A and B are shown apart, each in its own frame.
Chain A
Amino acid sequence: GQSLEQPSEVTAVEGAIVQINCTYQTSGFYGLSWYQQHDGGAPTFLSYNALDGLEETGRFSSFLSRSDSYGYLLLQELQMKDSASYFCAVRDGTSGTYKYIFGTGTRLKVLA
């Protein structure tokens, strides 16, 4: 089966850099995705890593190490609007399905 672990909560100040870690166990690996969800809102797709290394998209970057079954989301120049929950997700290894298994989420609090 699949399982993902991420910290439940992270707090940082505006303008700082924060890293949200995710470790996973999966029977077949197709990549690690990250989603952002504001309170009461829908999850929105942030990034996807299929290969090792760092992918940068503006203030957000995502890293993957397949050998360590580990990834992280890096948020730079934090803004108040970044306060949200962040979920990592892996695709189920069963052939023919694109269902994703989500972690329990990390609540990021950005302080002024």
Chain B
Amino acid sequence: DSGVTQTPKHLITATGQRVTLRCSPRSGDLSVYWYQQSLDQGLQFLIQYYNGEERAKGNILERFSAQQFPDLHSELNLSSLELGDSALYFCASSAQGGGENYGYTFGSGTRLTVV
């Protein structure tokens, strides 16, 4: 157990639907990052939150949104789902200082399948 908890582990939904992915960071970590990994692809950065505030944005679609709550857990909302949104969605957390020497701690991911 890495300390980063993601739920659900698997999600199957139909095109056009909306889903919410949840992430609880490791205890003490203030930063949460969301990444998308499509089949046999690298990790594409979506968005970062730090202590409740959006800190950085990647190539995140307008249909996607996220937020970080006062208890530091984060949610990634995906709407108007398309077949191409099928992917593994990872959440990662890091310490306040950025965690360069220790890197990110990743959750086990949510596998989203859009049918």
> Which A residues fall within an 8 A CB radius of B?
30-31, 33, 35, 41-46, 48, 50, 87, 91-92, 94, 96-105
Chain A residues near B2: list those with CB within 8 A: 42, 44
The minimal Cβ–Cβ distance linking B102 to chain A, given in whole angstroms, is: 7
A41 to B37, alpha carbons, bound, how many Å? 11
Q: In the complex the two chains form, is B42's CB within 8 Å of A97's CB? A: no
B12-20, B65-73, B93-101 - the one binding chain A: B93-101
List CB contacts (< 8 Å) of B77-115 with chain A: 90, 92, 94, 98-109
A91 to B45, alpha carbons, bound, how many Å? 11
Chain A residues near B102: list those with CB within 8 A: 45, 48
Chain A residues near B109: list those with CB within 8 A: 42
Chain B's closest residue to A6 (CB) is: B42
List CB contacts (< 8 Å) of B23-52 with chain A: 31, 33, 35, 41-45, 48
Q: In the complex the two chains form, is A50's CB within 8 Å of B56's CB? A: no
